[in-house]
Amino acid sequence: MRWLKYIALLAAVVLSMSAPVVCFADDDSSHASVPESEVDVAEILLGHTADGYGWHITNWKGKHITIPLPCIVYSSTGWHVFMSSKLEHGHHYEGLYIAEEGRYADKIVEIGPDGQEKRPFDISITKNVASLMITAILLIFIVLSVARWYRKHDATEEAPGGFTGLMEMMIMMVYDDIIKPSVGEKDYKKYAPYLLTAFFFIFLANLLGLVPFFPGGANVTGNIAVTMVLALFTFFAINLFGNKHYWKEILWPDVPMFLKFPIPIMQTIELFGVISKPFSLMVRLFANIMAGHMMVLGLVSVIFVTVKLGPVINGSMTVIAMLFGLVINALELLVAFIQAYVFTMLSAVFIGMSRSDGH
């Protein structure tokens, strides 16, 4: 059990690091003129997993350090393009402001003619959009640099090493072990680019989501809009190229007549299946990544919640939270891969079902 030694060492390091923090926190609360406000765990969890107009990095000496991002809004007064720093701390800009609460909390709103808050058409480059762009640029850079190796070398004569070799291994793993058997030998080549792009996009976005500081840290694949678009792509890939057999199975399956005519029971069930397949893809990816982020954030919040309970409990809870956080983060690393794998495999299986010639 050699790893027990390492865990003990790690616990010791974490303890020694947390001790000054605990003292400091203790000091702070006893001398502070204003009583510390209650730590709002729900606010921390939702605030860190939600989208935002600026990219909040950290607090430094009581000030928010935020990367301003461009806001692009089409309101009743036309197009508005400005930096998100203009709206910080409840400032109004050209009649637009970020709602404090209500239906549109934390979104840009304007006051409508009826005096109610109204949501304008908003395609701002939010934190998630910026993160998507970073993911996209990184992915394009990685894949094209790998592809360049193949352009410059005669791949029939030599095999790549290093990072290109690793990428080749992963690409061929997805290609040979997921796409080929799931879609079927007949036309897997046609769908491979989409499925490979989906896999690496999700995987890279998941991994970047696990990095807690700037280029990463956004909850991209844990956002329902992102997974919805991915699921819609799969939906179209399934249904736009579904063959005759696939549509017959839905619209006129081989079941007793009373099940499909005059009341289309089977058709209803089948159509429900058509919708639920991509819907399950959407919710699965979203929920898994969101839950992972929530768990890590929750464990980190434990440290701040227990500050009030005294240094002993706070210190020991810090160690426990760090250890659990470490385990959960390692698990999330696995989940990042598994969810990309599952999304790609299920998409491939659904596509394969829409292309099969029957059984």
Partner 1 sequence: MNLMLPDTGLLFWMTVIFLIVLFILAKFGFPMITGMVDKRNKRINDSLEAARIAEEAIATLQQEQERIIAETRSEQSRLMQEAAAERDRMIAQAQDQARAEAQKIMDDARVRINEEKEAAMKEIRNEVAQISLAIAEKVVRKDLSDDAAQKQLVDKLLEEIEG
Q: How far is CA 135 from CA 61, 62, 65, 128, 300, in A?
A: 31, 31, 22, 10, 26
Least CB distance from residue 152 to partner 1, whole Å?
A: 11
Chain CA centroid to CA 11, Å: 30
Report the alpha-carbon distance of residue 201 to residue 139 in Å, rounded: 7
């762009």: which residue's tokens? 133
Cβ distance to partner 1 smaller for residue 94 or 357: 94
Which of 219, 306 has the CB closer to partner 1? 219
Which residues, at least 6 apart from 316, have a Cβ–Cβ distance to it below 8 Å?
none
Cα 8 to chain centroid distance, Å, stands at 33
- The H or E element spanning position 335 is helix 311-355
3-state secondary structure of 60: strand
- Using CB under 8 A as the criterion, which residues of the chain lie in contact with partner 1 when the complex forms? 46, 49-51, 105-107, 121-126, 128-129, 132-133, 136, 139-140, 143-144, 146-147, 150-151, 155-156, 159, 167-168, 171-172, 175, 189, 192-194, 196-197, 201, 223-226, 228-230, 233, 290
Instruction: Specify the residue, 266 or 297, whose C-beta has the smaller distance to partner 1.
Output: 297
Question: What b/e string do you get for 305-338 counting C-beta neighbours within 10 Å, with b at 16 or more?
Answer: bbbeeebeebbebbbbbbebbeebeeebeebbbe
Query: How far is it, in rounded angstroms, from Cα 280 to Cα 282?
Result: 5
If the CB atoms of residues 228 and 346 are measured against partner 1, the closer one turns out to be 228
CB nearer to partner 1: pick between 18 and 164: 164
For partner 1, the closer of residues 17 and 232 by Cβ is: 232
